């Protein structure tokens, strides 16, 4: 059993596809262990994406992530980290496989609808960044 952090980004909330995105995770066997909807501050987004602080898109990415509400979730299941990444699709929607969330909903490489942890280490950091022990069910 593994846990991973998933975010429905501001563009996904704006596109009104929260239910559709969650449904894809559930239909593909991932369970929701925690969930909340919040609006991040610019500082919250900067701290979350601290690994990207030297990248040219850091300022724009953290503006985007703090412009409107996001849905934060902990997904749970066997190989949840890799399976979530498969369900999401490639970072750039132009390269995302058919049937993935990013292929179907993302507008651009930046506004790509969902986030998913990329390793056990980042999942541990990211889950702890947003959730405390009382919010993690099961």
Contact 45, 110 (CB under 8 A): no
Give the integer Cα–Cα distance in Å for 114 and 72. Answer: 10
115 catalytic per annotation: yes
- The residue range among 12-20, 37-45, 112-120, 128-136 that interacts with ligand ADP, by the rule CB under 6 A, is 112-120
Give the integer Cα–Cα distance in Å for 111 and 15. Answer: 11
Closest-CA residue to 116 (of 77, 136, 95, 87): 87
Question: C-beta of 24: minimal distance to ligand ADP in Å?
Answer: 16
- The residue range among 12-20, 34-42, 76-84, 104-112 that interacts with ligand ADP, by the rule CB under 6 A, is 104-112
The yes or no reply on residue 57 touching ligand ADP (CB under 6 A) is yes
Question: C-beta of 65: minimal distance to ligand ADP in Å?
Answer: 8
Closest-CA residue to 21 (of 66, 71, 77, 80): 71
What does the binding site for ligand ADP look like in residue numbers (CB under 6 A)? 52, 57, 61, 91, 109-110, 112, 115, 118
Residues acting as catalytic residues: 115
């Amino acid at each position: 059993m593994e846990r991973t952090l998933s975010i429905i980004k501001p563009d996904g909330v704006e596109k009104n596809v929260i239910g559709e995105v969650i449904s894809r995770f559930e239909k593909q066997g991932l369970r929701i262990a925690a969930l909340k909807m919040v609006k991040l501050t610019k500082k919250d987004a900067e701290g979350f994406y601290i690994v990207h602080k030297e990248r040219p898109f850091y300022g724009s990415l953290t503006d985007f992530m703090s412009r409107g509400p996001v849905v934060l979730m902990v997904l749970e299941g066997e190989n949840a980290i890799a399976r979530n990444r498969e369900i999401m699709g490639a970072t750039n929607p132009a390269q995302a496989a058919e049937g993935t969330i990013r292929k179907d909903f993302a507008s651009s490489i930046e506004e790509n609808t969902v986030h998913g942890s990329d390793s056990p280490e980042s999942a541990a950091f990211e889950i702890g960044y947003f959730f405390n022990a009382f919010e993690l069910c099961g």
